[in-house]
Amino acid sequence: MRSPTIHRTVLAFLFLVLTHAGAEATPAGIEIDLRPGIPNAVPAASLAWGAKASLLAHGETRVTLEPIRWTQSIDTSVPRYWDSLVEGTVLTPRGSLSLLDPDHAGSNPYFSLAPANVAIAKLDQSADTASVAAHYSSIDIVYDPAARGLSGTPVVQSFDVTTGRSDDLLRSSAETFSGTRAAADPGGTTRIYMRLDRGDEYYVSGESVAAGYENWIELDSADMALGPLSGTLGEVENLRWTQQFDGSVPFMLNRLLTGERARGVVEFVKDAGAGPLTFMQLILDETHIVALAIEAAGSELATVSGTLEFLRYQRTTWAINEDGTRGAAFSVGVDLSTSKLIDKNLPITDVAVFGHGNLAPAVPEPASWMLLCAGLAALLLAARHRIGMPRTASASTRRTLAESLRD
């Protein structure tokens, strides 16, 4: 039996070579090669692909891969698309559709799809643009962190559409470090961070370098709405989020394809004047990624949208005081399997590679405030003395300082 590790390494090397061997110039950002069915590289303007999972009885999962969709200008490839669509024939036995990082021109693709037995499923044509959708029998998915200037080896996984089988669970390998920027800017917009883990090495790490949120996934948006009321509880919908493509995406895709569950934590952070603080926290237990979509246009880095299902959740919100510190907390938790409130806090497993999150600017102790005031009074007295002011306050100031030190 061949080693899966060796197979993945060889596949990654061959794929990254073949996607460039003899390829003609295409617009920066997207490369599509459907040879021998299409002799030349296709100058695509956009690319979209995704996967969905349905949770069945007995904990089973049914995975559905979306057709690969792209848009392009009208050229000599379009008549061949029509032939494949009308005749129901395979356009090419093996294609490659790749995304390149606009900030690393000339590098290998950072994300690549290698579908087998590609056949055109839909074709919409206007005066100068064609919108294409293609089916396939299986697909290899490659993520190369080096193509984005990051450390690490290519991550390779495969999925057979006809059998519904995928590779085994992928193991992450993030490194611990200290954050190099603040988790939120003073007076700036809210930042959102997410982490997914099982409490072991099978976590999903992102690329956040924010202090306190090292290796978390930075989100552009996160939404968990409440539906119609049922008794005293609201009906909680799935968590939906959007983000820029980062190193978490291939691992989230792997969790979707394998049906693996995890614990999710989402935190909302802002700086109201006293430093970054977490003002809302969502703990999602028994999560399962049920949808993931990747879209790219032109030379921009791809965007990703996803959906999480979960069995239990807890939401904690903190008031923000006028001085920018964190105030009182309010928590509510629901077990969706029983539609009952949870009477105890859901735990968060400590995984070494992740920053601890849950930031709260320090609130000075009362004694510290007194010492600070006494020190300021002493400085004021010294200043008054230097500019020739009377020293009548000296004795009282000394008494205030002595009393505060005794306290």
What would the DSSP string read from start to end of 250-294? HHHHHHHHHT--EEEEEEEEEESSSSEEEEEEEEEEEEEEEEEEE
Beta bridge partners of 233: 230
Give pLDDT, residue 392.
Answer: 40
Give pLDDT, residue 228.
Answer: 53
Domains held by the chain: number: 3
Residues 269 and 386 in one domain: no
Give pLDDT, residue 28.
Answer: 54
Give residue 366's pLDDT band: very low, low, confident or very high (50, 70, 90). Answer: low
Give residue 319's pLDDT band: very low, low, confident or very high (50, 70, 90). Answer: very high
Residue 375 lies in a domain: yes
Residue 175 lies in a domain: no
Give Cβ neighbours of residue 108 (< 8 Å, ≥ 6 apart).
Answer: 16, 19, 20, 100, 144, 146, 147
Residue 178 lies in a domain: no
At 331, list the tokens. Answer: 């928590």
Q: Domain of 161: which CATH number?
A: 2.30.110.20
Give pLDDT, residue 15.
Answer: 39
Residue 66 lies in a domain: yes
Residues 157 and 200 in one domain: no
What is the C-alpha separation between 22 and 40, in angstroms, rounded? 9
Domain that holds residue 99: 4-166
Lowest mean pLDDT among 17-31, 112-126, 254-268, 307-321: 17-31
Residue 361 lies in a domain: no
Residue 355 lies in a domain: no
Residue 144 lies in a domain: yes
| pLDDT cut 70: percent of the chain above it | 79
pTM over the 0.85 mark: no
| pLDDT cut 90: percent of the chain above it | 62
Residues 142 and 220 in one domain: no
Give pLDDT, residue 325.
Answer: 96
